[in-house]
């Protein structure tokens, strides 16, 4: 059955699957690909093992070592179970397991629960689909040592994924992530995976955890009187066929909002994971938010919110200064949330100098500027909310976390959850909209106020998709080229500093002086990321995605906004500057 065109390593893996103790359906599917001479698909399915990235394990559903299936999920879980039993030897180990609405999510969750229980580990398995942030909350609530949620977040329907969590409710970071991978790689045969579960160790959970989670969010509310006065605030919400429908509508109702419209066409969680009304269930995409925006125009709504399938990201829209419903980007929403929280803490007299906010290095520097103005520290971490959680963990008891976020539509308020939380974010976005309206302001009025005070920051994203092995090679070549031949200028402004997070070195591009980027704490470790800073304050970042077959280029530029009437002009100038940088670097 050998195909000469296949690389030896790929052929070896295929042979091991055909000879191993895999089910007959899997073997038949492999043989059909061989008979059909499907070289590309066989290569992409077997050329590597799925690895933990910034979001854990994620890939296309299908057969092979580079696909999501019962065996790759099983190997990951067995490796994690082995690591837990070694790391917490002698303890009564507990884990929590949740899943979203994707294809095979419930099946994978049951397989995961069975494997953990077969390894003597007590499992708390959610009875039905639940938001990812609730899994993080449940780990802390139930005193678990670890947890897993089955989700591919906002990826297309063909994908699924596996996020592993640690004792504090955050996704695993170093050294645990590498150690778990080591345990997974040490599994030499499918026979090493204990699929036979122990029902006595599997406990179903549901409504009782929901109640505690919602109560915790409600306890953080700041502007209760504003909500009471603005209870008729018109809100349109879409769960995009995901888990948000289980909690967001009832949370908004408990807060006191009485005029919430749920997009019925997208309210069905769709256990088959087909996402019938959207191609890409991502609130970052305007197409995904189209039904909600149309409804908002129809009923003259104040606010639109949409959560992704596992409810850790939220996109929003509001009426702009032209009277049109406009989508906000992740940087704008993060800035609004942090501004609202900083103001509230200051008004309450709670800013003592020991508070902090946190964001990723590719998120808007407007947050740094605002935090500094309020005398609050702002930590910058690598991309991935697990690094924000790491900062919260390492400063616990010394500094107090107010809130944080990242440009990719993920935000966190308070520290009871240690991952981005679209459920709590929906609550606070609705609350800050009510707070603004109570003062006669829209969300855009509030945004303009921020730009006038702190500067008009604009961020653009250029994302190139490169699929399969050839795409992965092309992405690595792009990074190598930027390291070998860094840009000297961006939009006419000289590059003055280069930060290379792979080598953890920062270089003064004028003098050539090289220094260390602090590592080993506060969300920074070696990572394949490059940043270039120019004399006029432009920031350009190159970063291969850890969860998708993409390389992303983030461009941050800044100007002044002296008057609201200048917004459209300055906005266009900043957008053109971002476009020109992409063109001069040949990023198409």
pLDDT digit string, tens, across residues 198-236: 999 999 999 999 999 999 999 999 999 999 999 999 999
Q: What does the pLDDT look like over 173-199, one tens digit per residue?
A: 888 988 888 898 898 899 999 999 999
Taking Cα atoms as reference points, which of 155, 334, 475, 466 lies closest to residue 163?
155
**Per-residue pLDDT at 269 exceeds 90:** no
**What per-residue confidence (pLDDT) applies to 55?**
57
Q: Which of 45, 105, 146, 153 is catalytic?
A: 153
Give the whole-angstrom CA distance, residue 10 versus residue 564.
59
Q: Do residue 172 and residue 70 come from a single domain? A: yes
With both helix axes pointing from N to C terminus, report the angle between 443-454 and 366-373 in degrees, rounded to the nearest 10: 80
DSSP result, 193-255 = S-----GGGEEEE-HHHHHHHHHHHHTT---HHHHHHTTT--EEEE-TTSGGGGTHHHHHHHH
Give 109-140 as a DSSP string: HHHHHHHHHHTT-EEEEESS---HHHHHHHHH
Other Cβ atoms less than 10 A from the Cβ of 480: the count is 10
> Based on the domain organization, do 166 and 239 belong to the same domain?
no
Q: Could you tell me if residue 100 is inside a domain?
A: yes
Same domain, 412 and 486: no
313 domain-assigned: yes
d(C-alpha 418, C-alpha 517), whole Å: 25
Q: Which residues of 340-374 are buried (b: 16+ CB within 10 A; e: fewer)?
A: bbbebbeeeeebeeebbbbbbbbbbbbbbbbbeeb
Distance CA 532, CA 509 (A): 9
**Judgement on whether residues 476 and 487 belong to the same structural domain of the protein:** yes
| 0.75 surpassed by pTM | yes
Confidence at 582, pLDDT banded by 50, 70, 90: very high
Residue 306 phi, psi (nearest 5): -140, 130
Query: pLDDT for 337-349, tens place per residue?
Result: 999 999 999 999 9
The helix (run of H) or strand (run of E) holding residue 5 is none
CB 530 within 8 A of CB 479: yes
Question: Residue 272: pLDDT band by 50, 70, 90 thresholds?
Answer: low
CA distance 78 to 119: 8
How many structural domains is the chain composed of? 4
Rounded to an integer, what distance in angstroms lies between the CA atom of residue 378 and that of residue 380?
7
pLDDT at 270 over 90: no
With a cut of 50, say whether residue 532 has pLDDT above it: yes
In a domain, 220, yes or no: no
Asked if residue 124 belongs to a domain, the reply is: yes
Question: What pLDDT is stored for residue 182 in this prediction?
Answer: 86
Band the pLDDT of 549: cuts 50, 70, 90.
Answer: confident
CATH assignment at residue 141: 3.40.120.10
Strands 94-99 and 122-126: parallel
For residue 547, name the pLDDT band (cuts at 50, 70, 90). Answer: low
Average pLDDT of span 435-442: 97
Domain end point (choices 211, 237, 270): 211
Residue 139 has pLDDT above 70, yes or no: yes
Instruction: State whether 355 and 488 are in the same domain.
Output: no
Are 23 and 115 within one domain? Answer: no
Residues present in the chain in total: 588
The residue that leads in pLDDT, 55 or 485, is: 485
**Residue 153 counted as domain residue:** yes
Same structural domain, 68 and 37? no
d(CA 402, CA 417): 12
Do 400 and 199 touch, CB atoms closer than 8 A? no
Q: Are residues 527 and 435 in the same domain?
A: no
CB atoms near residue 488 (< 10 Å): 9
Residues 270 and 145 in one domain: no
SS3 content of the chain, % helix, strand, coil (to 5): 40, 20, 40
Q: What is the pLDDT of residue 52?
A: 65
Instruction: Tell whether 218 is covered by a domain.
Output: no
Q: Is 216 part of a structural domain of the chain?
A: no
Q: Are residues 446 and 520 in the same domain?
A: no
The share of the chain scoring above pLDDT 90, in percent, equals: 87
Mean pLDDT, rounded, for 550-577: 96
- Final residue belonging to a domain, choices 176, 211, 246: 211
Q: Is 36 helix (H, G, I), strand (E, B) or coil?
A: coil
Known catalytic residue at 335: no
- For residue 424, the enclosing domain spans 227-454
Measured CA to CA in angstroms, residue 471 lies from 37, 43, 62, 135, 464 at distances of 21, 13, 19, 33, 10
User: Across the chain, what does the average pLDDT equal?
Assistant: 94
pLDDT band at 1 (very low <50, low <70, confident <90, very high): very low
Among left, alpha and beta (phi > 0; psi -120 to 50; other), residue 23 is beta
Residues 301, 450 within the same domain: yes
Task: Look at residue 520 in the predicted model and tell me its pLDDT.
Answer: 62
Domain boundary (454, 481, 509) is at 454
Residue 523 in domain: yes
42 plus 71 within the same structural domain: no
Inform me whether the pLDDT recorded for 468 exceeds 90: no
Evaluate if residue 521 carries a pLDDT over 80.
Answer: no
242, 281 Cβ separation under 8 angstroms: yes
């Amino acid at each position: 059955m050998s195909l000469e065109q296949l690389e030896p390593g790929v052929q070896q893996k295929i042979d091991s699957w055909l000879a191993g103790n895999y089910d007959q359906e899997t073997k038949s599917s492999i043989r059909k690909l061989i008979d059909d001479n499907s070289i590309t698909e066989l290569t992409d399915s077997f050329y590597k093992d799925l690895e933990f990235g910034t979001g854990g394990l994620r890939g296309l559903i299908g057969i092979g070592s580079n696909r999501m299936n019962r065996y790759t999920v099983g190997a990951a879980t067995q490796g994690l179970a082995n690591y837990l039993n070694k790391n917490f030897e002698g303890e009564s180990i507990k884990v929590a397991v949740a899943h979203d609405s994707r294809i095979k999510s419930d099946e994978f969750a049951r397989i995961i629960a069975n494997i953990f229980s077969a390894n003597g580990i007590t499992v708390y398995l959610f009875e039905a689909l639940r938001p990812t942030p609730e899994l993080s909350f449940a780990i802390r609530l139930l005193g678990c040592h670890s947890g897993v949620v089955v989700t591919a977040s906002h990826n297309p329907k063909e994908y699924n994924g596996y996020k592993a969590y640690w004792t504090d409710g955050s996704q695993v970071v170093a050294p645990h992530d590498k150690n778990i991978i080591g345990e997974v790689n040490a599994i030499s045969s499918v026979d090493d995976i204990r699929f036979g579960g122990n029902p006595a160790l599997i406990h179903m959970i549901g409504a009782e955890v929901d109640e505690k989670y919602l109560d915790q969010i409600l306890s953080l509310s700041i502007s209760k009187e504003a909500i009471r006065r603005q209870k008729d605030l018109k809100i349109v919400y879409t769960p995009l066929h995901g888990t948000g429908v289980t909690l967001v509508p009832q949370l908004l109702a408990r807060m006191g909002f009485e005029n919430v419209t749920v997009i019925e066409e997208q309210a069905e969680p769709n256990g088959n994971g087909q996402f019938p009304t959207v191609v890409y269930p991502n609130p970052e995409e305007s197409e995904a938010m189209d039904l909600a925006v149309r409804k908002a125009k129809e009923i003259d709504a104040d606010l639109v919110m949409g959560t992704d399938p596992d409810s850790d990201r939220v996109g929003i829209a509001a009426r702009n200064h032209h009277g049109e419903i406009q989508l906000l980007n992740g940087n704008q929403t993060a800035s609004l949330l942090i501004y609202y929280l900083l103001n509230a803490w200051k008004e309450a007299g709670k800013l003592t100098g020991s508070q902090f906010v946190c964001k990723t290095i590719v998120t808007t520097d407007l947050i740094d500027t605002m935090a500094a103005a309020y005398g609050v520290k702002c930590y910058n971490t690598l991309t991935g909310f697990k690094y924000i959680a790491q900062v919260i963990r390492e400063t616990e008891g010394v500094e107090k976390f107010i809130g944080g976020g990242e440009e990719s539509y993920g935000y966190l308020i308070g520290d009871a959850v240690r991952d981005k939380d679209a459920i709590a974010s929906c609550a606070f976005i609705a609350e800050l909209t009510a707070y603004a309206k109570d003062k006669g302001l829209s969300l855009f009025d509030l945004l303009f106020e921020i730009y006038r005070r702190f500067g008009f920051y604009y961020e653009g994203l250029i994302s190139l998709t490169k699929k399969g092995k050839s795409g992965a090679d092309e992405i690595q070549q792009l990074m190598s080229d930027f390291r070998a031949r860094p840009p000297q200028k961006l939009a006419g402004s000289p590059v003055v500093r280069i930060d290379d997070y792979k080598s953890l070195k920062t270089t003064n591009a004028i003098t050539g002086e090289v220094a260390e980027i602090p590592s080993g704490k506060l969300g920074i470790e070696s990572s394949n990321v490059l940043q270039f800073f120019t004399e006029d304050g432009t920031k350009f970042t190159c970063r291969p995605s850890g969860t998708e077959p993409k390389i992303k280029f983030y461009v941050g530029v800044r100007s002044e906004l002296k008057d609201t009437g200048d917004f459209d002009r300055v906005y266009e100038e900043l957008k053109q500057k971002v476009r020109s940088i992409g063109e001069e670097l040949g990023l198409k």
